[in-house]
């Protein structure tokens, strides 16, 4: 496998864990549960996509998403996280930036999200480079993946 960070990111990665570490010293949390499901994909042409589902999601009675009630749809959307766009890599800084083009959360469209990258064999850890707000608190986020 090539040595460059960009080349090493390419492909599919399966989610292991999402941890939020509050700056106020309160205990770390797992916003998507103890065993979340997810994939992140980095393509050679510079596109990326990430999807994360909570470990426990309420089942619905239909596969037709248009038949869901507003309450069912809101519950499903709250337990799911997804965005896609382009990505760029700063090899010297050891970061990848996700340039969000579309997102389940519309407020993220147009944002650029830099992440520190730690790669060790088939393990990838993406960490926020600056605090983000989550649940009214400032947190640092660490997301762990394994090559799919």
Closest CA relative to residue 145, chosen from 9, 5, 2: 9
* pLDDT at residue 142, as a whole number: 98
For 12, the token pair is 């599919």
The series of mean pLDDT values per 10 residues for the chain, 148 residues long, is 86 97 95 94 98 84 82 83 97 97 94 97 97 94 98
* pLDDT at residue 2, as a whole number: 58
For 42, the token pair is 């980095």
- Answer whether 18's CB lies under 8 Å from 32's CB: yes
Q: Domain 5-58+65-147, what fold?
A: Lipocalin (2.40.128)
Domain parsing of the chain, residue ranges: 5-58+65-147
* pLDDT at residue 1, as a whole number: 45
d(CA 148, CA 145): 9
* pLDDT at residue 78, as a whole number: 81
d(CA 42, CA 34): 25
Q: State the DSSP H helix or E strand holding residue 7, giving kind and residue range, or none if neither.
A: helix 5-9
Cα-to-chain-centroid distance, residue 100: 11
* pLDDT at residue 52, as a whole number: 96
Q: What is the pTM of this model?
A: 0.90
């Amino acid at each position: 496998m090539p040595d460059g960070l960009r080349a090493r990111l390419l492909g599919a990665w399966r989610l292991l864990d999402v941890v939020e570490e509050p700056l106020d010293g309160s205990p770390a949390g797992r916003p998507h549960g103890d065993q979340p499901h997810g994939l992140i994909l980095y393509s050679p042409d510079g596109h990326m996509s990430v999807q994360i589902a909570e470990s426990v999601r309420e089942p619905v009675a239909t596969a037709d998403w248009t038949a869901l009630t507003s309450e069912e749809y809101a519950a499903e959307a709250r337990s799911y996280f997804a965005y896609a766009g382009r990505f760029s890599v700063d090899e010297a800084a050891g970061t990848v930036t996700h340039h969000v083009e579309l997102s389940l959360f519309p407020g993220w469209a147009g944002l650029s999200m830099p992440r520190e990258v730690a790669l060790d064999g088939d393990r990838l850890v993406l960490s926020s480079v600056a605090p983000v707000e989550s649940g009214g608190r400032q947190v640092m986020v660490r997301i762990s993946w394994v090559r799919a």
